[in-house]
């Protein structure tokens, strides 16, 4: 049994390294390369507000490369860590290594966060450069349930309250800071408040991309809202699972659970974005000069 735990942990951690530092980064890299090759700055200048000049097409093609190199470096670092752990006879005990798994996952997510910030910067530049006097809007109201099914949302709400209740229940309704009950509860509430703000911004806020078609924007909004609901479900399940394994002295499972959780997070986050919004379906004609 212990050997099985060790093998499972190494397998799951290896899968985390592969998924977060190779598989999805590679998918995103291929997507960026495809866009740069198929929709170059010379033909689609509105897509590249900060790229001008004759060498803009070449710059656009090489621009995603650092992203790939960073991910490869993180992957190598992860593999080295795995080798060091194997050689040092590491055995999962849940005495703090879950923090290590958490920190490594954060390191793996950093390039994705960097991409998000770069995109925000790019979109802000697009809005600043956009001098079109004509502005368009859909004459249809947007509602939360236009993006996510009531049943899925219901599951997320039930699990949110179940996680809150379980957290109190398992700590015998002890609200002291020392037992961590309030910290967990406040963290869960805080993240959900952030989701609520993000939802309001996405659905009712100002246009982020001034050129995007209504159809593409609707798809994009739907993906973001669904990812938030899936993440909420994942968070609630993680909280219940972690509290349970701590309470029943199964701490040695914590690094394993943490690693699985981050992989699920990547699948529902990046996976949903890639799967629900294929690049071929996006209308890039709006980025042409005279559109």
Enumerate residues 6+ apart whose C-beta is below 8 A from 223: 272, 273, 276, 277
Of 114 and 144, the one with the shorter C-beta distance to another protein is 144
The least distance separating another protein from the CB of residue 211, rounded to whole angstroms, comes to 13
Of 139 and 178, the one with the shorter C-beta distance to another protein is 139
Figure out which of the listed residues 11, 146, 205, 278 binds another protein, where binding follows CB under 8 A: 205
Of 87 and 135, the one with the shorter C-beta distance to another protein is 135
Using CB under 8 A as the binding rule, whether residue 214 contacts another protein is answered as yes
Question: Is the separation of the CB atoms in 239 and 184 below 8 Å?
Answer: yes
Using CB under 8 A as the binding rule, whether residue 206 contacts another protein is answered as yes
Q: At what angle do helices 65-87 and 2-18 cross, to 10 degrees?
A: 170
Interface region with another protein, contact rule CB under 8 A, candidates 94-102, 115-123, 202-210, 250-258: 202-210
C-beta contacts of 243-252 below 8 A and 24+ residues apart: 243/166, 243/167, 243/170, 243/184, 244/170, 245/94, 247/170, 250/94, 251/93, 251/94, 251/95, 252/5, 252/92, 252/93, 252/94
Enumerate residues 6+ apart whose C-beta is below 8 A from 184: 167, 239, 243
Q: What binding mask, one character per residue, do residues 85-124 give for another protein by CB under 8 A, x or -?
A: ----------------------------------------
Using CB under 8 A as the binding rule, whether residue 146 contacts another protein is answered as no
Of 141 and 150, the one with the shorter C-beta distance to another protein is 141
Using CB under 8 A as the binding rule, whether residue 138 contacts another protein is answered as yes
Interface region with another protein, contact rule CB under 8 A, candidates 5-13, 94-102, 132-140, 246-254: 132-140
Rg (CA), the chain: 22
Using CB under 8 A as the binding rule, whether residue 290 contacts another protein is answered as no
Place of tokens 């609707």: 218
Is the Cα torsion angle 46, 47, 52, 54 positive or negative in sign? negative
- In eight-state DSSP terms, residue 23 is I
Distance, in Å, from the CA atom of 201 to the CA atom of 195, rounded to the nearest integer, reads: 10
The least distance separating another protein from the CB of residue 141, rounded to whole angstroms, comes to 5
Interface region with another protein, contact rule CB under 8 A, candidates 71-79, 106-114, 129-137, 262-270: 129-137
Figure out which of the listed residues 1, 4, 139, 178 binds another protein, where binding follows CB under 8 A: 139
Contacting residues toward another protein, per CB under 8 A: 133-142, 204-207, 214
């Amino acid at each position: 049994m212990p050997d099985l735990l060790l093998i499972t942990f190494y397998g799951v951690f290896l899968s985390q390294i592969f998924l977060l530092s190779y598989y999805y980064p590679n998918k995103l890299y291929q997507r960026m390369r495809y866009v740069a090759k198929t929709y170059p700055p010379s033909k689609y200048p509105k897509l590249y507000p900060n790229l001008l000049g004759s060498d803009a097409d070449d710059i656009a093609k090489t621009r995603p490369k650092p992203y790939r190199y960073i991910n490869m470096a993180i992957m190598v670092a992860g593999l080295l860590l795995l080798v060091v752990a194997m050689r040092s006879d590491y055995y999962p005990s849940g005495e703090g290594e879950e923090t290590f798994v958490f920190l490594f996952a954060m390191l793996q997510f950093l390039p994705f966060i960097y991409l998000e910030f770069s995109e925000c910067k790019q979109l802000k530049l697009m809005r600043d450069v956009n001098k079109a006097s004509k502005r368009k809007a859909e004459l249809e109201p947007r509602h939360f349930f236009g993006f996510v099914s009531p049943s899925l949302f219901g599951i997320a709400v039930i699990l949110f309250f179940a996680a809150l209740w379980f957290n109190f229940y398992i700590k015998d309704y002890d609200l002291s800071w020392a037992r961590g009950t309030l910290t967990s509860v406040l963290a869960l509430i805080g993240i959900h408040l952030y989701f609520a703000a993000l939802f309001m911004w996405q659905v009712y806020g100002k246009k982020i991309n001034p050129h995007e078609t209504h159809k593409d924007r609707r798809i994009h909004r739907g993906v973001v809202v669904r990812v938030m609901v899936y993440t909420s479900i994942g968070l609630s399940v993680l909280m219940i699972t972690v509290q349970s394994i701590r309470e029943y002295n199964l701490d040695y499972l914590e690094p394993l659970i943490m690693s699985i959780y981050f992989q699920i997070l990547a699948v529902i986050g990046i996976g949903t974005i890639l799967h629900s919004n294929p690049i071929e379906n996006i209308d890039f004609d709006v980025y042409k000069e005279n559109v």
